[in-house]
Chain A
Amino acid sequence: MEDEVIKKFLYVNRKAPYGTIYALESLEVVLIGAAFDQDVSLAFIDDGVYQLKKDQKTSVDSGIGMKDFSKTYLALGDYDVNKIYVDKASLDERGLTADDLMELVYEDEDDDYKEKSSISIVNQDELALLMEQQDVVLSF
């Protein structure tokens, strides 16, 4: 690395998957960004929470004929992307709970590689505070 700048990057996801490409291409940025060793967080707000719904079912050859990219979220932990914040009010107003979401986990290097959940369900004050701490906010 030519310089050791570490910035706080927040990816804000507010759009549902499949209806538009934003969710998929946002995830592609997160994966590429992971190689840059920055301090990365993801926030899912409004319809963005639907991106994390478990049991998504489609493939290029069946269903709507689009790739099911939801499995990529499960790999985020392996890329050291493990700070995933979900807005509780957005879940509530959509009749969803944590049980409806995929189980995103990572292995904590500092705790004997124990498997831990990457998802935190947070209220708007916690999320607002998180936003205030960022250097770069990427919205798609």
Chain B
Amino acid sequence: MKFGILVNEGPYQHQASDSAYQFTKAALEKGHEIFRVFFYHDGVYNASRLLVPPQDDRHIANRWSALSKEYKLDLVVCIAAAQRRGMLDENEAKRQGKDAHNIAEGFHISGLGQLIEAGIQSERLVVFGD
């Protein structure tokens, strides 16, 4: 079955991203397809490549990146939610005249239409938030 996943909360503060990760991983391991994981609201912070968690804890952004690499997972960060929270990819940083960008490997920034498309194309949309 084809799933879409929506993550509405940022890393560490809430369990939402962890639950979404465990669900996504379990679904992939069972042979299901994940059409897209969409990060919205504070969920956009999961895509930060500047996270530096303690060594003995999970690295939430890297964990998503690794899953993306292994399964060619489409990790999409909402551009509107990301911009107002200071999450920019290289192109967007250039366009906005900012001196840095901070999107981790495997994630890419795109519009809210990608969430609606995930709702249309997936057989199930599962929402994780607070």
The answer to whether A and B touch in the complex, with CB atoms under 8 Å apart, is yes
Residues in chain A within 8 A of chain B (CB atoms): 5, 7, 9, 21-22, 25, 28-29, 32-33, 35-36, 38, 135-140
Interface segment out of the listed B21-29, B68-76, B96-104, B112-120: B112-120
Roughly how many angstroms separate A135 CA and B120 CA in the complex, as a whole number? 9
Known: A21-B41, A28-B80. A138 touches B112 (CB 8 A): no
Known: A21-B41, A29-B112, A32-B111. A138 touches B120 (CB 8 A): no
B127 in contact with A139 (CB, 8 Å): yes
Give the 7 A-B residue pairs with the shortest CB-CB distance, closest first: A32-B112, A136-B119, A33-B116, A136-B125, A36-B116, A139-B127, A5-B120
Chosen A-B contacts, 19 in total, with CB atoms closer than 8 Å, are A21-B41, A22-B41, A25-B41, A25-B80, A25-B81, A28-B112, A29-B115, A33-B116, A35-B113, A36-B113, A36-B116, A36-B120, A38-B116, A38-B119, A135-B119, A137-B125, A137-B127, A140-B40, A140-B41
Q: Dominant SS at the A interface?
A: mixed
CB contacts (< 8 Å) of B41 on chain A: these are 21-22, 25, 140
CB contacts (< 8 Å) of B113 on chain A: these are 32, 35-36
Roughly how many angstroms separate A20 CA and B98 CA in the complex, as a whole number? 27
Shortest Cβ distance from B81 into A: residue: A25
B59 to chain A, nearest CB (A): 26
